[in-house]
Amino acid sequence: MPVLVAAGGLAIALVILMQFGLLRSRATSGQTWLYSFESLFVAAFSTIVGLATGNGELYVLAGVTLVAKVALVPWLVFRLTSGLEERVKDEVPLSLGVPSSLISALLLTGIAFAAAVRLPLAGPLLPSSGFAMGLAVVLIGFLFTITRLNTISQLLGILTVENGIFLGTVAIAPGLPLLVGLLILFDVLMAVLVFGVLVRFLAMRHSTVTTSHLKELAG
């Protein structure tokens, strides 16, 4: 059991590390890889909690996560960006610089911890820190989405938010029925496809994926 606790803690730490790395990364390719690795560590945490509880459904969820979020979604995103010019992909414009983003992310992590320890959460493995880190990933994902002015990065930001929720769910509610977990993953895949269609159309009309021209509608 202590081995599992240590391994679970390591997986959680790696997830949050990837999320911080996302704020550092300026190229969409690097961001996509970081998302893929983050999903891998989320799947690892799910497997570890499965080992701790003997709940086989968690292995299934980990497996589906591997196929869908570690492999399929990054592949789709890479395909989406393949036709775009280098300048756009390698230097995503920011509305908040990297150092300020990282400091804000540290603050958000603190807030997530402060909120999580106030809740009487129960779970088989690291419920409080797992949920706190899941919440931190959610908040940092939102920060990333609103400060990265590029449709690909915004899509990845929303996807990491979902990763954070998945991490928190495995920590505090590993018994959530498999059907619900699969439905959520199905929705994620559908959303990626639709986001992809819109990115393609926007890119076709403006030959770029930055969001700077998306400010026609107001009031």
Partner 1 sequence: MEPLIAMLVIPLALGLASYASPRPRATQALTLGGGLAVLALSALLVAQGTSPRSSMGGLLYLDSLSVVLLAAVAIVYATSSVFAIGYLRSEERAGDFPRYVRSFYSLLNFFAFTLLLVPATDNLGLLWAALELTTIVSALMVGLEGTDSALEAAWKYILIASAGLALALLAVVLLYASGTPSLGSSYQPRWTALLGNADRLQPRTVSLAFLLALIGFGTKAGLVPMHTWLPDAHSEGPTPVSALLSGALLADAMYAVLRFNAIAVRALGPDFSRTLLLVFGFASLLLSALFVLRQHNFKRLLAYSSIEHMGVLAVGTAFGSPLASYGVALHVLTHAATKSMAFYGAGSILRKLKTREIGKVKGLLHIAPATGLLFLAAALALSGLPPFGVFRSEFLILAGGSSRAGGWFVPAALLIALVNLAFLGVFRYTNGMVLGAPPASVRRGEPSRWMMGVALAGDQRP
Residues at the site binding partner 1, with contacts judged by CB under 8 A: 55, 115, 118-124, 135, 138, 142, 145, 151, 154, 158, 161-162, 165, 168-169, 172-177, 179-180, 183-184, 186-187, 190-191, 194-195, 197-198, 201-202, 205, 211, 213-217, 219
Alpha carbon of residue 196 to chain centroid: 17
Q: What is the dihedral of CA 179, 185, 189, 190, to 10 degrees?
A: 50
**Residue partners of 188: CB distance under 8 A and separation at least 6:** 68, 69, 73, 159, 162
* Whole-Å CA distances, 214 to 43, 113, 201, 208: 35, 35, 13, 11
SS3 at position 198: helix
* Whole-Å CA distances, 7 to 35, 49, 56, 113, 122: 20, 10, 18, 20, 19
Q: Determine the longest span between alpha carbons in the chain, in angstroms.
A: 57
216 is written with which tokens?
Answer: 């026609």
SS3 at position 94: strand
8 Å CB contact between 160 and 19:
yes
8 Å CB contact between 62 and 43:
yes
